[in-house]
A and B are shown apart, each in its own frame.
Chain A
Amino acid sequence: MNRWHAGKKLALALMFGLIPLLAACGRADLSALNPQGPVAQRQFDVLVVAVGIMTLVVVVVFALLIYVLVRFRRRRGDNSIPEQVEGNHKLEIIWTVIPIILLIILAVPTVGAIGKFAEDYWDDPNAVQVKVTAYQYWWEFEYPQYGITTAQELVVPIGKKIAFELVAGDVKHSFWIPAIGGKMDNNPGLTNRFYLEFPTPGVYRGKCAELCGPSHAYMDFKAKAVDQASFDRWVAAMQGPAVLPEDDNIREAFVSKCLTCHAVGDQGSPIGPNLTGLGSRVTVAGILFNDTPEQEYVIDPAKTEENIKLWLEDTQAVKPGNMMPSAGDLQLTREQIDGIAKYLANYQLDYE
């Protein structure tokens, strides 16, 4: 075999050898290959059927190709004209029918899953309703059954169907929690409904999956699945009255400068992200992590405070193109920034 024929074979073998290595299932809170819920699981199962069929096809084609290249390469000095074959009816029928059968094998679970995922649980009394409104560059989560609204971090109970209604407040976005299930678009002017289920408690990473501007990559959100009791406590805490800063100066700044766009408890405005219990969230602004590398998802209030200051001091540096003015634009003093950051970092909801 010529050297570069062998080289080509080796290259192909290496590529396929890499598959088991690279198919490291990925993070349990992020990977579609590491499904953590029944929706993601079913999607993964369809993927497995498809990959199985496709691997078969690829192996057959590759084997044929390699055989042909080796067996029928022109030998040195050979000037003969091969037999000119017009075709072969039997072969053509085989390689038409077999692919059709393989596609039917894929089509069946496909259509089944489409039906399953289209089920509308919005009016199901056992489901939890969440209205998701996507903005540049944050996520609003409203729970109409409880009269509460939060942002950036979706808290849900395990073991229940979470029925989502998705819409966008400005441009198109797309709501995706890969470990839990596939995505659905947030369109302005049209609502989409779908559902997800979270059987295992934990924090799952959500991503925006539709180009929405310069900070598209920073529009992460989290989904926190907790047991039913914790969820009930969270709802109750969210429904409680606003907790405002203790210091008069800081409180006055917070109410006059922040609550014109934000809300805490029963006070403030719905224009921007709801800040109730910000200290309990894993991130600030959806993208600045409040945990430490040693203890993932365990919140360190000192970190949260630092992140809030980072955000306030220059929002455009964190998320270019976002709508929130920076501290300078709001004429916040250093003292006010520090005070608000400390207050928000310590504004924790006790529910877990």
Chain B
Amino acid sequence: MSDFLITFPSRRRIEALAQKYSLLLPERQKASLIGELSGKRAGSSIEYQDRKDYVLGDDIRHIDWRAYARTDRLTIKLYREEICPTIDIIVDTSLSMSVTPEKSLRRTELAYLFYLLSLKIHAVTALYNLGENLQRFMNPLDLLSSKDTRQDTPLPILQCSPFVRRGGVKIMISDFLFPFSPAELIATFSAADCLILVQVLTAFEDDPGQGEFTRLVDAENRKFLDVVLNRATVEGYKKRLNNLRSELERRVRVAHGAFAFLRDVDSLDQLVQNLLTTGVINVK
């Protein structure tokens, strides 16, 4: 326990935040299991909601015979659906996520927070480690001891994975600094009921600041670029970064999701504030 606390001093804080906040899930859902929450759509729970005219194919067990006797019209009773949400938390474990220890820690903190928030609503929670390939893991804290792996681009891996084809909530924690099309990424998660994208960047990745001749090395493949961090270069980069974020945010919103951005140097309070502001979480 003590070793665990040394490497993850903010654990208690994360757990306290999980107690205080909850995930803000979307109204529309495609549940595959019966759960404890009531959904807004008609389902097969015992709680009567409404009736509708019978059409060929409806479940005949739900024909309201009393209403037929009264009206000579075949109608079907509609019951409030029970929601058992599925939450898939995809954590980017490529080498780019550990360019700084703080960035790696933020990723772990976010994964742990979302994991706790998921457990809180008794969601079926699955954790996925998106590195060289996609692997499921059970404990978000395993991220602290696992090694990040090289990843060229995660999209093909995601597109091939089976969980993206089912509904539920998808939460992806990444820096989104791989070459990709935001439209394609959002389309990959088109089956999700809710998509939450959380971008974690280092302070330099967010705002390089003007400087001198610098060699930028890609953490994934060790390619490098020599740039001069003059005003034009920095502004050009920030413009591209903002365009990426704007595009992601817009598309996620269209897909009834949320996009949050965090820096590795931000405090946990700032982290929570961002998540609240972007509608990822709300106060319980």
* A-B interaction: no
